[in-house]
Amino acid sequence: MLSASRAARLALLGTGLLMAGATALAPAASAAPSGGSTIAAYSLAAPRVTAASGLVARAVVPAGAECPALDVADGKGQQAAVPMRERPRPQRTAPAFDAITVCSVAIPSGAVTASIHGRAIPARMPSRIDRLALLGDSGCRIASWGVQDCSDESAWPLARISAAVASDQPDAIIFNGDFFYREAACPAGQQSECGSSPPPVTGLPFTDSAYGWIADSLLPMAPMLAAAPMIVTRGNHEACYRAGNGFFYLFDPREGTSDTCAPVLSEGTLTAAPTVPTPTYAIDLAVAPDRTLRLAVVDSAGGNDVAVDAYAAVQRVAYERAARLTAPRSGRESWLLTHRPIFGIVSTDFAVPGLPFLEWGSADQQAASWGLLEPYQMVFSSHQHIAMAVQIPGQPGQLILGNAGTLLDPATGYPLPAAGPKAVPGQAYPAPSWAWVSDEFGYAIARPQADAGAWRLDMRDASGSTFARCGLRARSLYCASGS
């Protein structure tokens, strides 16, 4: 088995080889031979209307290669080769994604093994959950105002985290958005830090590309993509004017969504599509014969973090559907998955002299979800680049894990606010009773406990060592640092 450091170096090397001489992106890729090697293969949890098995297989291959077959076997040893279909490339994005083809097919119910070009992928949703991996905000920051050192596995530890997640052998992985951070050309003189990062394609109203996704996600995340089904939400970095096209092409599990962020052509000019919430859906995970965890997947890629504006009404539809999907039912407990937190405390280190400071982030999400949080035992989010847990009396515990690799937020400046967030005019949540913050890179492993609604969550660092332990019981979340 490769060490995490060796895997990281090979991932970066592989990215460099794929992108060598590819500044124009597409021309050479069109000559790729039929049956070319698979760049990435993985399984995505999907709503049952998309896949009766609850699982979709994806393969990313060089453009020009035929979609491979999904080789499956059932519990009786019966084997089949299921043709994969080409997922439509998002329109009006050439040449950003012309170098790859994405192939997809629902994994048949009853499959117990699955592979693509000999590469094993998760074949079925877990029959019972013992370990859930939780993480978010993983990409390497390359922006006009600063560069994260993408070639240093300590500064950008996603490859190490991915290997550690895989070694934990989770039954499923919940990734809460913000895959993509390579949004600018590498500044002159910093090429050694950018890890062969490709610049955005000139002339397009978005910042991602096939090569950017390969570098930022597909290669470094390979170990965990092979380890367990992925349950994904869309982050604000996957807004349509940023990396939305790649997200819907590669990671949205539903059929017919590739063009969700396709640029709009008007009078000969391309502009970014509006970022609006896609329909909420639910994923069910069996915890015990009489106990199910329902995950409501809410798209909160858009919205205003510092003030409530008109977007809150647009966003509310997604939370209303989530509440309907998670209506109380015997034996069912529910978590809300939403990239932007409902209860996220903002560091005072972000205060700007002369401007009012807001202690709570995600203003539009607070307003949009007001009065709709009763079904949930926990809200799991990322967005803020830190590990945080917040408890507001009478509300589900809020867990934030935005520490899976991207440049971390300040470690200081999180005093407990004296008042809760103001959700709508004349209404506010109670003051928080408790909060916990850590600036460690990593992820969490959640394990169900004997009582319904009770979970233990171990916070792991980039090497897989536990640095804090948390517990969820009766909608209350609590954490303590230390192993």
Q: Which domains does the chain have, with CATH numbers?
A: 275-483 (3.60.21.10)
The values of phi and psi at residue 12, to 5°, are -65, -40
- Residue 67 pLDDT class (50, 70, 90 cuts): very high
In this predicted structure, what is the pLDDT of residue 37?
84
Q: Does 448 score more than 60 pLDDT?
A: yes
Q: How many CB atoms lie within 10 A of CB 309?
A: 13
Give the mean pLDDT of 323-343.
97
Give the mean pLDDT of 25-39.
45
In this predicted structure, what is the pLDDT of residue 66?
94
Cis omega (within 30 of 0) for bond into 95: yes
* Dist CA 132 CA 388 (whole Å): 18
Highest mean pLDDT among 73-82, 172-181, 186-195: 172-181
Per-residue pLDDT tens digits for 72-92? 999 888 999 999 999 999 999
Give the mean pLDDT of 413-425.
93
Beta strands in 136-276 (DSSP E): 142-143, 146-147, 172-175, 230-232, 264-266, 269-271
Give the mean pLDDT of 13-19.
39
* Dist CA 217 CA 181 (whole Å): 10
* Dist CA 106 CA 84 (whole Å): 9
Task: Give which of 38, 83, 89, 90 is closest to 65, Cα–Cα.
Answer: 38
Per-residue pLDDT tens digits for 205-214? 999 999 999 9
Q: Is the pTM of this model over 0.75?
A: yes
Q: Does 9 score more than 90 pLDDT?
A: no
Q: Does 22 score more than 60 pLDDT?
A: no
Does residue 161 sit in helix, strand or coil?
A: helix
Q: Sheet with 55-62: list strands edge to edge.
A: 85-86, 100-106, 55-62, 40-45, 230-232, 172-175, 132-135, 443-448, 455-460, 466-473, 476-481
The DSSP code sequence of 293-354 is EEEEEE---S--SSS--THHHHHHHHHHHHHHHT---TTEEEEEEESS-SS-BPPGGG--TT
